[in-house]
Chains A and B, each alone.
Chain A
Amino acid sequence: MTWPPMLMKIHVKNETHDFGFWLPIFLVLPVALVVLIILLPLIIVGMIIFWDSWGVWALKVLWAAIVSYWSLHGLEVDVQNGNKYVYVSVV
């Protein structure tokens, strides 16, 4: 089973700044879910009305967004150029 991303670690460093933090994205997921549930009736009505134009496309985009979010687990970006440094890790 593939787990959804739980935490995101971000570390940015340059000549003047050096900061890093953990972003608890597992807390964002319930909030996004609640917002989605609240907006769901509007989304469904909108999709039914505009099914022939952008309804199907909107459904595909929604699904693609969920799949992409789920696939972020394991992403790691570590780039350094001289004293500038960016690190992003999704676990």
Chain B
Amino acid sequence: MSESQKKILEMLAENKISVDDAHRLLSALGAEEGAHTGNKNTGQDAAGNLVNKVLSSRKYLRVTVTPPEGGTDDKGNPFHDGNVGRVNVRIPMSLVRAGIKLTSLIPADALDKANSALREKGIKFDVRNIKQEDIEELIDALGDMQIDVEGGKGEKVKVFVE
């Protein structure tokens, strides 16, 4: 593996670039190397393999809520160790995968109710159309997700995959 490829994968692992960006960069890099060797498919194949390798190494969905630095609680007391509101949840991706697949066990009646509830909210979507491949795609796409929200009081909410 070349230094450039390593650098791209490090950036992907650190969420500095998205999966699509990494794939594009690796493809371009591989195409350049392939042009030298005369192999046209080297770029795409190598990029796909390397990106999949990094994605498969992401194992946990993390949800963290951290209080603002120097903030105070509802009573005006400054935050200190033992008097602070924080959340740190680490969910194995395999559990997320298992949980999403549990949707196949939802009875048809409940799905109908979910569809009608969605329609009431103006969303024309049939949850019965969700296929196994869609679920796999959704789980893969989760690896590229990063939510970073700062609340009104300065608390930080982060949702990401590591």
B83 to A82, Cβ gap below 8 A?
yes
Interface of A is mostly: mixed
B95 to A68, Cβ gap below 8 A?
yes
Of listed A68, A72, A80, residue having the most chain B CB within 10 A: A80
Count of A-B contacts judged by CB separation below 8 Å: 57
Interface of B is mostly: mixed
A83 to B92, Cβ gap below 8 A?
no
B73 to A75, Cβ gap below 8 A?
no
A71 to B83, Cβ gap below 8 A?
no
- Determine if B25 is an interface residue (Cβ-Cβ < 8 Å): no
A68: chain B residues within 8 A (beta carbon)? 95, 98-99, 102
Q: What is the CA–CA distance of A72 and B91 in the complex, to the nearest angstrom? A: 8
A74 to B60, Cβ gap below 8 A?
yes
Q: What is the CA–CA distance of A68 and B98 in the complex, to the nearest angstrom? A: 6
A68-87 to B contact mask, C-beta < 8 Å, 1/0: 10111111111111110000
Ordered by A's residue number, 24 sampled pairs between the chains whose C-beta atoms are within 8 Å are: A64-B101, A68-B98, A68-B102, A71-B95, A72-B92, A72-B95, A73-B92, A73-B94, A74-B92, A76-B88, A76-B89, A77-B90, A78-B87, A78-B89, A79-B86, A79-B87, A79-B88, A79-B89, A80-B86, A80-B87, A81-B85, A82-B83, A82-B84, A83-B82
